[in-house]
Structure 1
């Protein structure tokens, strides 16, 4: 099947400075590098807090990308899903070996689109927000105060209760939540209006993980995401949407690394 990518040359993605934070293992054991992709409003700091060094300690080169307009990457107020996927593909292609793509939240949707253009070693979707009208319905039900203004052009807002489990101290949760800033209204709208991702190149294994207590992604949405890739979600009860910042952050990253060692 021929896939027409005429937009790539007719409307090329402009270059931008990309923030990539990395942690490398003491010895190179030939394991695939990991590329972590944060969700909208987050930056590479999301994974640098705990997961990068932990993965490196277990022998995996670990890298986290801030999508354009996020973190310390270059400003891009009108950026959308195509530009985000382009950033992921470009960084993944620069790594020394075939990479594992790990996307969180709406970053999982970016990864799903990037998989059509980059033959990843494997992929992991963490608390995935894969978009569509169902995503809007859940957002209106779970977070009407932050979602309704966004439909009128304001930036989406999420609460501390949606992002973290109850075990995380309030002061820590507030500090993390203050760093979450949605930047692109176009990308917000594309969560609802985007076209479904093309099939992944090379048919990599895909793992979906999350929590049934996530304040953003429902258990039904986790099941749908996992079924799309032929599996069932791996769940971590009591944790919030930002599993990598919660008090029990080691559990999901160890589960991911254990899965990668078997696949």
Structure 2
């Protein structure tokens, strides 16, 4: 039997700088041996976005749940020059420290980070929620729908997403304003990486991958959801009427319950 070794010279010649990372968690009252979930927020979001609803809900159904703030986000260490590679490193390091082989759940650009982390971490499974994999097609859509918030990011400024892009009209304005006020910004180098949609290496161990989102998402077109799902050999699971931030929108329980139902049939069963 031939042993296959993947040599990544850059990994040891130019290692990612360590950073202090914020990790929030919620665990079941009774341990059932289910795989832990590691939630990875998109650019500008922190672990708080999952702590609002999804962490506790996952724990109530028996899944240990953890949410990571990528460096420069939430309560993690500031990192204005962070790269996509550094974000993927954060995910791998936190996942490796969990008690069991984890399921990685990435939202928005965090889904792209998860795709890159899967090449370095043998995940039990992965879920890509409203995945932002970048590319010029998605950029043109963002510029058309939110020019004032998108164009500055092209030149190294902050990416500002609007209430209309993130949430449905069902979410009360007071809640929407509170969430938008908490948004930060990603490193400019990581933002630029989205323009080229850097291709992720194949996932270690070919874990099952679920792609889900909303056909009414004003950030990720439905065609993009279909394209990314096909990449992983499936069709997207859709939630009409919801905005980009499914974990914070008015009907937040529907997608997380669908994720947990899938986990009980796929990764958890394995």
- Aligned residue number for residue 192 of structure 2: 189
What are the within-5 Å matches in structure 2 for residues 68-83 of structure 1? 68-83=71-86
Supply the distance in 2 between the matched residues of 1:139 and 1:248 (Cα, whole angstroms): 24
Supply the distance in 2 between the matched residues of 1:2 and 1:97 (Cα, whole angstroms): 24
Supply the distance in 1 between the matched residues of 2:144 and 2:115 (Cα, whole angstroms): 25
User: Of residues 112, 117, 122 in structure 1, which corresponds to 2:120?
Assistant: 117
Which 4+ runs in 1 deviate beyond 6 A?
none
Supply the distance in 2 between the matched residues of 1:7 and 1:131 (Cα, whole angstroms): 24
TM-score, normalization: structure 2? 0.95
What are the within-5 Å matches in structure 2 for residues 155-174 of structure 1? 155-174=158-177
Per-residue deviation, residues 51-73 of structure 1 (Å, max 9, x unmatched): 00000000000000000000000
- Aligned residue number for residue 39 of structure 2: 36
- 1:232 to partner: Cα distance: 0.5
- Aligned residue number for residue 251 of structure 1: 254
Asked if the contact 2:37–2:66 (Cα under 8 Å) also holds between the matched residues in 1, the reply is yes
Asked if the contact 2:216–2:243 (Cα under 8 Å) also holds between the matched residues in 1, the reply is yes
Per-residue deviation, residues 97-155 of structure 1 (Å, max 9, x unmatched): 11000000000000000000011000000000012222222222222221122222211
* Other structure's SS at 2:66 match: strand
Moved more, 192-201 or 97-106: 192-201
Any gaps of 5 or more consecutive residues in structure 1?
none
- Aligned residue number for residue 7 of structure 2: 4
User: Of residues 124, 140, 145 in structure 2, which corresponds to 1:137?
Assistant: 140
TM-score, normalization: structure 1? 0.98
Matched, 1:89 2:122: no
Q: How many residues align?
A: 263
User: Of residues 221, 224, 236 in structure 2, which corresponds to 1:218?
Assistant: 221
